[in-house]
Amino acid sequence: MVEWAGKIAAALLLACAVAGGAVAADPGNWDKVVAEAKGQTVYFNAWGGSETINAYIGWAGEEMKARHGVSVVHVKLDDTAKAVATVVAEKSAGKDDGGSVDLIWINGENFAAMKRQGLLFGPDWATRLPNWRYVDHETKPTVLTDFTIPTEGLESPWGGAKLVFFYDSARTEANELPDSAEELLIWAKANPGRFSYPQPPDFIGSSFLKQVLIELIDDTGKLQKPVDEAMFAADTAPLFAYLDRLKPLLWRQGKAYPQNYPDMKQKLADGELDIIFAFNPAEASSAIANGELPETVRSFVFSGGTLGNTHFLAVPYNATAKAGALLFANFLLSPEAQLHKQDPKIWGDPTVLSLGKLPTADRSAFENLDLGVATLKPDELGPALEEPHPSWMTRIEAEWIRRYGAPN
């Protein structure tokens, strides 16, 4: 039965490739993938708003060139939806092979949209990568479910994420920090102009909206299902009532918003904001190590929990360099690349690997890694709140723009 299952999976993979007009790379024949990848150029579409992340991607690209003869071009995006739109346009034009996007840094509504429209390479390549054997899919269910959508091996986990707040202890006392969205509103009243969030649809800004929605909605179970349009106004009324009260208390009274997380980080460093947030528990330590934030910056979370998820890598159905994309995704999943990524002096992004599955030397390297002075310990991070179904992000972004949106 196992043998036949493998043959059926291989046949489906080939059929998917033929439908796309090209022979697919088969992760079940890894030696062939490595051979096919040599000489290819992988156009990696990924957010480009962080110098540290860009430098990490640059390092990974250099390693791929040196080890496998594969070139990696980082196509820097300010919105992942632009890469999705490119693939949609190519499909509409009948360009079912020779696509311009080989690999996408993705999760949430963008993954859901590509999966729904049949724009992803598959089936199930991610769990057949050689380095999948190290992935912690037992205790980290978000590596198998992306914003409630089963990944089904159509994207490979790259890193963990959890919403964490930062403050400068030289200006703000720890006992004054808020411990919930409601307490944040109270804090903002006492400290007007000292908090803000990026304007949606920026991912970090939209994540703040989801955090507040999760805390205030009458039944969080609703968020694990697609939006019920008949109930949307009632379900989100507490969120937008909260935002109405918060808006005049924001930086510049909500008449302008930080462009993105790096902009918020700079405003904390310059003393314009007192509380900011990011989706990386080690971000503050990484920024300190790179001279972007003062050494007095520290982290905190809400004791009731903050948003948590996993971010992934996906290959479009019409990618030109499928073999190179798979090889690159596998390298990024390796203990070496994951350790380098988790180092706060490099990026500080949490690993998706299980330390218990690693060889002794790799496990020791992770255990001995200094995560930085501003990084909370795992048992200090509090509960991880589940991401809502992707439809919620789309709808609350649209409603936010309708109510508050204006050019910065």
Q: Convert the pLDDT of each residue in 106-137 to its tens digit.
A: 999 999 999 999 999 999 999 999 999 999 99
For residue 286, give both structure tokens.
């990484």
pLDDT of residue 407: 53
Q: Are 116 and 91 in contact (CB under 8 A)?
A: no
**Residue 230 identity (one-letter amino acid):** A
Cβ-Cβ contacts under 8 Å for 373 (sequence gap 6 or more): 285, 288, 295
CB 331 within 8 A of CB 63: yes
Q: Which residue has the tokens 């909206």?
A: 209
pTM assigned to the model? 0.82
Give per-residue pLDDT as tens, 51-98.
999 999 999 999 999 999 999 999 999 999 999 999 999 999 999 999
Q: Is the pLDDT of residue 331 over 60?
A: yes
Among residues 55, 52, 153, 108, the alpha carbon closest in space to that of 310 is found at 108
Asked whether the predicted pLDDT for residue 146 surpasses 50, the reply is yes
275, 265 Cβ separation under 8 angstroms:
no
Task: Determine the pLDDT at residue 141.
Answer: 85
Instruction: Choose between 384 and 254: higher pLDDT.
Output: 254
What pLDDT, on a 0 to 100 scale, did the predictor assign at position 4?
40
In tens, the pLDDT along 184-207 reads 999 999 999 999 999 999 999 999
For residue 280, the Cα-to-chain-centroid distance in whole angstroms is 9
Which ranges of 103-231 would DSSP assign to H, the alpha helix?
A: 108-116, 181-190, 203-216
pLDDT at position 10, please? 40
Does the pLDDT value for residue 13 go beyond 50?
no
pLDDT band for position 329 (cuts 50, 70, 90): very high
Residue pair 285/278 in contact (Cβ under 8 Å)? The answer is: no
**pLDDT surpasses 70 at 5:** no
Query: Among candidates 404, 244, 279, 316, which has minimal Cα distance to 100?
Result: 316
Residue 20 has pLDDT above 50, yes or no: no
Asked if pLDDT for residue 301 goes beyond 60, the answer is yes
Angle of helix 335-342 relative to helix 360-367, nearest 10 degrees? 10
**pLDDT greater than 60 at residue 9:** no
Rg of the Cα trace of the chain?
A: 21
Name the residue with tokens 């462009």. Answer: 259
Domains of the chain, first to last: 32-159+310-368 (3.40.190.10), 164-308+384-404 (3.40.190.10)
pLDDT band of 302, cuts 50, 70, 90: very high
Which pair of tokens denotes residue 283?
């971000």
How do residues 332-355 score in pLDDT, each as one tens digit? 999 999 999 999 899 999 999 999
Burial level of 403, CB count in 10 A (0-12/13-18/19+)? exposed
How many residues are listed for the chain in this entry?
408
